[in-house]
A and B are shown apart, each in its own frame.
Chain A
Amino acid sequence: DIQMTQSPSFVSASVGDRVNITCRASQGISSWLAWFQQKPGEAPKLLIYAASTLQSGVPSRFSGSGSGTDFTLTISSLQPEDFATYYCQQGNTLFTFGPGTKVEIK
């Protein structure tokens, strides 16, 4: 099975900051990676698929990059509504989610 790791587990940041979250797969997954945002008490929301394709309606401050085993989610200028937990998910072989990264207010 493909395992996913994320770093860091927690990010403390301020509004306007640039935030990078890294996701690593235990084996190559080409570009079959998605990113989700989840706020407390809500269902996850798809932000990015195919490693870098922005889902319709998602603000352009979100971007994704990477291929193979290493991927990055970047929030270029953190907004108040972006404080949430972010999950990566591989879709190359079945599905596996990462453990999540919580973005907190500094």
Chain B
Amino acid sequence: QITLKESGPTLVKPTQTLTLTCTFSGFSLSTSDSGVGVGWIRQPPGKALEWLGNIYWDDDKRYSSSLKRRLTITKDTSKNQVVLTMTNMDPVDTATYYCAHSLYYYDSRGNYRDALDIWGQGTMVTVSS
């Protein structure tokens, strides 16, 4: 059974750096487990989902174009953890932050993409002085 859980501060001040940890079980991000990744997504109160970035078993990383200068995603395979770092936090970054398991799937021609199939419960982060 795959589970994920986000952890980190609930309150950060403007200009500070946010560090969130996603601790997971039921799968691995080691180099032998191809096609697996973890994504980060956020949702401001009452608003839509926004994808932040993904990290994959082979340490490939992909980031949102609009936020990539502020984001870093790393993994610690031995701890089954993925860490999201977001710099220069602003009140508009107030949101629930989710991590999710990502799994490759293939079309009939062998092309592949990934889907965010299992999500953590999310953690609310407020940015305020």
The digit string for B49-74, where 1 denotes a CB below 8 A from any CB of A, is 11100100000001111100000000
Task: Write the residues of chain A forming the contact surface with B, with a CB cutoff of 8 angstroms.
Answer: 1, 30-32, 34, 36, 38, 43-46, 49-50, 53, 55, 87, 89, 91-92, 94-100
User: For B114, what are the chain A residues with a Cβ–Cβ distance below 8 Å?
Assistant: 91
How close is B24's CB to chain A, nearest CB, in angstroms? Answer: 14
User: For A53, what are the chain B residues with a Cβ–Cβ distance below 8 Å?
Assistant: 105
Bound-complex Cα distance A55 to B116 (A)? 11
- Contact between B65 and A100, CB atoms less than 8 A apart: no
How close is A6's CB to chain B, nearest CB, in angstroms? Answer: 9
Task: Write the residues of chain B forming the contact surface with A, with a CB cutoff of 8 angstroms.
Answer: 39, 41, 48-51, 54, 62-66, 98, 105, 107, 111, 113-122
Q: Looking at chain B's contact residues, is the secondary structure mostly helix, strand, loop, or mixed?
A: strand
User: For A30, what are the chain B residues with a Cβ–Cβ distance below 8 Å?
Assistant: 107, 111
Bound-complex Cα distance A32 to B114 (A)? 9
User: For A32, what are the chain B residues with a Cβ–Cβ distance below 8 Å?
Assistant: 113
User: For A94, what are the chain B residues with a Cβ–Cβ distance below 8 Å?
Assistant: 51, 62-65
